[in-house]
């Protein structure tokens, strides 16, 4: 048997379950898959909460923005899909050496690492979605790189100017590869979007249904979450984890109370440095592959841009990364892409 390959696992954030992903869980999960039992527990909990079950949402006849993008539904779908994908990684092929995620993907990472377990993990995911969605503000995304994924100094300067002009009302929310996700009050977001020059016929792009995640405007939600949830809902991780600061949480050693304080406190209210998490993970664990969980396959660009920024394995541009991905077993494997999924399961 061929030797196992080491792998970093990366979990996607909110917004990764969209119209093309409808049915993702039911299509990818075999009828006799062990994760079906966990999914049944999730569904039962959501029934008790008076919410649509994950199975009902995923197997709906058609995609509904008002239903599927509602915070507590989108979060439940993304969390469940991520855990389902993680359960299907072939452990005879891959040795998972660390887990990280983008934004809400940190919650999925906690589930994959065993910090959050059973029905209670869905309770936490659903409640956090409801608490943060009820908060103020909005989010938008703007590129910091050019078409070849190399830094665009002009875009960086213009973004910095907007952050300076709207101090206390506009914040860096997520450092997402070659993109900045900004969060702030409705007024600050609207003014900044009007001031920034349009590019790629898409940006600046308002993220629908998003509040001012990862900003001080989330403090009331963080306070409520910390008061509501007991330390006992967090346990020691079974895998090393890298959080939104680039901090490592060692397997079997990280303290559950500290994980709770970060996850329900700083992680909610401060910038999430996804790029740094990826960069720290590859430097510290030197994985032979990066496996991107579903739903969707949108993480690939941001991961690649994070690697290009540190010239990882000689990567300097989008063209370099695309060429490297043509290998029979690509460095980055996205479970949301059927041909790459087959290389993982």
Residue 122 is predicted with a pLDDT of 98
What's the distance, CA 122 to chain centroid?
16
Among 199, 234, 203, which Cα is nearest to 106's?
Answer: 234
How far apart (Å, rounded) are the C-alpha atoms in residues 30 and 343? 17
Contact 94, 344 (CB under 8 A): yes
Packing angle of the helix pair 153-165, 186-195 (nearest 10 deg): 140
How far apart (Å, rounded) are the C-alpha atoms in residues 4 and 96? 10
Lowest mean pLDDT among 84-93, 181-190, 208-217: 208-217
Residue 257 clears pLDDT 70, i.e. is over it: yes
Residue 89 clears pLDDT 50, i.e. is over it: yes
CATH code assigned to 138-210:
3.30.70
Q: Report domain extents, the chain.
A: 5-134+218-341, 138-210
Sorting pLDDT into bands at 50, 70 and 90, what band is 135? confident
Sorting pLDDT into bands at 50, 70 and 90, what band is 1? very low
Query: Domain 5-134+218-341 sits in which CATH superfamily?
Result: Malonyl-Coenzyme A Acyl Carrier Protein, domain 2 (3.40.366.10)
For strands 332-334 and 248-249, give the pairing. unpaired
Sorting pLDDT into bands at 50, 70 and 90, what band is 2? low
Contact 317, 149 (CB under 8 A): yes
Residue 75 clears pLDDT 60, i.e. is over it: yes
Residue 209 is predicted with a pLDDT of 83
Domain 5-134+218-341 matches domain 138-210 at the CATH topology level: no
How far apart (Å, rounded) are the C-alpha atoms in residues 268 and 225? 10
Predicted TM-score of the model (pTM): 0.97
How far apart (Å, rounded) are the C-alpha atoms in residues 264 and 93? 34
pLDDT in tens, 139-191: 999 999 999 999 999 999 999 999 999 999 999 999 999 999 999 999 999 99
pLDDT in tens, 225-252: 999 999 999 999 999 999 999 999 999 9
How far apart (Å, rounded) are the C-alpha atoms in residues 224 and 28? 36
Mean pLDDT estimate for the chain: 96
Averaged pLDDT, 299-314: 96
**At a CB cut-off of 8 Å and minimum separation 6, what does 295 contact?**
12, 16, 17, 21, 24, 25, 77, 78, 81, 82, 336
Residue 120 clears pLDDT 60, i.e. is over it: yes
């Amino acid at each position: 048997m061929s030797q196992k390959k080491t792998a970093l696992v990366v979990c996607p954030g909110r917004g990764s379950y969209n119209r093309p992903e409808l049915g993702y869980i039911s299509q990818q999960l075999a009828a006799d898959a062990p994760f079906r039992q966990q999914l049944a527990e999730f569904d039962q909990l959501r029934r008790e909460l008076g919410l649509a079950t994950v199975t009902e949402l995923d197997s709906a006849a058609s995609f509904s923005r008002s239903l599927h993008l509602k915070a507590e539904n989108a979060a439940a779908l993304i969390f469940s899909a991520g855990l389902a994908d993680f359960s299907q990684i072939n452990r005879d092929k891959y040795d998972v050496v660390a887990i990280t995620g983008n934004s809400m993907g940190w919650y999925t990472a906690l589930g994959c690492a065993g910090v959050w377990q059973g029905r209670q993990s869905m309770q936490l995911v659903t409640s956090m979605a409801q608490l943060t969605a009820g908060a103020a503000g909005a989010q938008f995304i703007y590129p910091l790189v050019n078409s070849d994924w190399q830094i665009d100094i002009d875009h960086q300067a213009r973004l910095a100017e907007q952050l300076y002009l709207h101090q206390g009302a506009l914040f860096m929310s997520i450092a997402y590869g070659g993109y900045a996700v900004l969060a702030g009050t409705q007024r600050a977001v609207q003014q900044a979007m009007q001031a920034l020059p349009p590019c790629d016929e898409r940006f600046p792009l308002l993220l629908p249904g998003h509040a001012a995640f990862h900003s001080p405007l989330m403090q009331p939600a963080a306070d409520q979450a910390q008061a509501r949830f007991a330390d006992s809902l967090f346990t020691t991780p079974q895998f090393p984890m890298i959080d939104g600061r680039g901090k490592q949480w060692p397997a079997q050693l990280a303290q559950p109370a500290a994980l709770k304080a970060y996850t329900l406190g700083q992680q909610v209210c401060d910038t999430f440095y996804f790029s740094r998490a990826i960069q720290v993970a590859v430097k510290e664990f030197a994985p032979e592959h990066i496996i991107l969980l579903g739903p969707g396959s949108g993480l690939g660009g941001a991961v690649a841009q994070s690697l290009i920024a540190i010239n990882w394995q000689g990567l300097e541009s989008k063209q370099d990364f695309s060429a490297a991905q043509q290998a029979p077993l690509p460095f980055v494997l996205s479970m949301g892409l059927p041909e790459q999924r087959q290389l993982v399961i």
